[in-house]
Structure 1
C-alpha cells in the first residue's frame, strides 16, 4: 500500500517482538543446565520464561496467518501503547475496517465462550474484558490522530485450541481460532474507502499515535537470531526427552522418573 512510509518504525516491528524482548531478558537470568540435565532433555526454559516463550510462539503463528492478507491491508505487530511496556499484539487496517488482535496460545485446550464469559479448560479468564478495553483504547488514540471517529473491532485469536465452543457471541469482541482468522477477515464487507484506509494507516504507523514516549528502534535481527537459537535448544531438549521415553523400557523409565534428582528433570519439564 502506498501513502505511508514503509520504513516507519512500527512497520519494522515483527510478530511477538515485545514478548521476545521480555522472554530473552527473563531467560538471561536462568542458570545454564548441567550436563546431566542436558543429557536427559531438561528444558532450557525456567518456570518464569516458559509463559513468555509460549506466548511468542502464538503471536508468531498469527503473524504467519496475517501474511496471507493482500496489499490493501496494513498489518502491524507488537505495537507499544500507553506510557509503559504494554503493547497490542497485532493492529490491522484495511477496507474491512480496523482491528486489534489479542493472541492467546491455548494450544490443545478446550475453549468455551458464552456472552461475556470465556473459559479455558474450565477456568474463567479475562481475555474478553482485556480485548474490549484494548480496542476502545485504540479507537480513542486513532480517532485523536485522524481527527475523526475510528471504530475498532476487538478480536481474541486462540492458537490451536483443542476445541472452540461459542454458545453465545460476546457483545464487543470476536473470538476466533487462528485457522478461522484469515477467512473471517477476507469475508468481511468493506466499510472504509481507499482514502479512509490511507488516513487511518498513516496515523497507525506513527509510534507517537500510540505511545507517549516511543522508544528508539531496537535490533530486530538480533532478537530474531537469539530467539531462533533458544527455540533450537528447546526443540532439541524436547526431542531428547521423547527419545528417552521411547528408548527406555517402561519399567526402567519409571525407575528413573522416581529416582532422586532425575524425578525433577523428568516430571516437571515433560510439557516443555
Structure 2
C-alpha cells in the first residue's frame, strides 16, 4: 500500500534469524550471573533459553553448508510463514527443484527412522509430520504466487548426530544428516529449467508470498552482534568449566559442595551446561 514501507526482501534474512530473535528476547529476562557463578563457569543461558541457543547453532551450521551451493540456487533462511511467528528454516530453489529444510540440532544423539516414526535417543518426535506440513504449505503458497503447480520436497536435516539409522524411508520426507546434505542436492536430477527456477525464485523472495503481514525491515547487524556477544559468554563459561574439571576438580568441587544452596546451584550448572 502506498505510504507504507515495503517488507525487506527475504534474501536479507540470515540463517537462524527468527530463532535468534526469540533467544535474545528470552535471554533478556535472565538475571546477570554473580561474580562467583562467572568465576566457576556457570552458563549465562537459562533452561528456557538453552533450546533456542542450540537451535540457532544448528541453523547456522546448515546455513554455512548451503553457502556451498552454486549461483544457480536461491537459498533463503528463516522465512516467516502464515500469520504468526512460524518460520521455515531454509527454502531452496534450484535446478533440482524446491525444498524446505527443517533443521534439528541433535548433536551427539542417536536418530532412528522407520516409516512415519522418527525417534531421538528413544523418544518419538514430530519432526516428520511438521516437515511434511511445512512443505505442503510452501507448495500451496508458491503455486498461488506463480500461477502454476510448484512441487516442494520436505527435508529434515539432523545436525551432527551420533548415529542416523534409516530402517524404512518416510514416504513424504527425506531425512539426512548435515554431512549428507550437499551431496544429496548435487546428485538430484534436474527438475526445473532455468526459466522455471527464475519464476519460482522471484515469488520465493517476496515476503508477501509467505506471510499475511510481513515484518518491516529490521536490524540484522544488531541481532548478529548481540548473538555473537552471547556466544562468547557461553564459550567462555564452557572453557572455565573445563579448566575447573581438568585443573583442580577435587578442591573445586569440595568448595562448591560446602557452599550451601549457591554451591549446589553452581554444581548443577557445571554438570549440565
Offset at residue 265 of structure 1 (A):
1.1
Q: Is the 8 A contact 1:4 1:205 kept in 2?
A: no
Is the contact made by 1:88 and 1:102 (CA closer than 8 Å) also made in structure 2?
yes
Tell me, yes or no, if the aligned pair for 2:155 and 2:175 is still in contact at 8 Å: yes
Question: CA distance change for structure 1 residues 6 and 61 in 2, over 3 Å: closer, same or farther?
Answer: farther
Note if contact 2:132-2:173 (Cα within 8 Å) is conserved in structure 1.
yes
1:4·1:198 contact (CA, 8 Å) conserved in 2?
no
Distance 1:4 1:162, change over 3 A: farther
Q: Is the 2:6–2:216 contact (alpha carbons within 8 Å) kept by the matching residues of 1?
A: no
TM-score normalized by the length of structure 2 = 0.95
Task: Determine the C-alpha separation between the residues in 1 that align with 2:182 and 2:2.
Answer: 22
* TM-score between the two structures when normalised by the length of structure 1: 0.95
Contact map agreement 1:43 1:237 (CA 8 A) in 2:
yes
Corresponding residue number in structure 2 for 1:266: 267
Q: Deviations over 1:83-138 (max 9, x none)?
A: 00100000000000000000000000000000000000000000000000000000
- Is the contact made by 1:40 and 1:266 (CA closer than 8 Å) also made in structure 2? no
1:153-198 CA deviation, whole Å, 9 max, x = no partner?
0000000000000000000000000000011001100010000000
Partner residue, 2:171: 171
Shift of 1:249: 4.1
State the Cα distance separating 1:261 from its structure 2 match. 3.0
Q: Secondary structure at the match of 2:271?
A: coil
CA-to-aligned-CA distance 1:21-44 (integer Å, 9 cap, x gap): 000011111000000100110100
Query: Any conservation in 1 of the 2:110–2:161 contact (CA below 8 Å)?
Result: yes
The structure-2 alpha-carbon separation of the partners of 1:131 and 1:249, relative to structure 1 and needing over 3 Å to count, comes to closer
Shift of 1:271: 3.5
Query: Please, which runs of 5 or more residues in structure 1 have no aligned partner?
Result: none
User: Which structure 2 residue ranges, 5 or more long, are not aligned?
Assistant: none
Q: Which runs of 4+ in 1 moved over 6 A?
A: 1-7
Q: How many residues align?
A: 272
Would the aligned equivalents of 1:19 and 1:56 in 2 still touch at CA under 8 Å?
yes
Residue deviations 1:47-102 (CA, integer Å, cap 9, x gap): 11000000000000000000000000000000000000100000000000000000
> Does the 8 Å contact 1:8/1:205 carry over to 2?
no
Per-residue CA distance 1:193-213 (angstroms, 9 max, x = gap): 000000000000000000001
* More deviation, 262-271/180-189: 262-271
- Preserved CA contact (<8 Å) 2:18 2:87: yes
Taking structure 1 as reference, are residues 255 and 32 closer, same or farther at Cα in structure 2, changes over 3 Å only?
A: closer
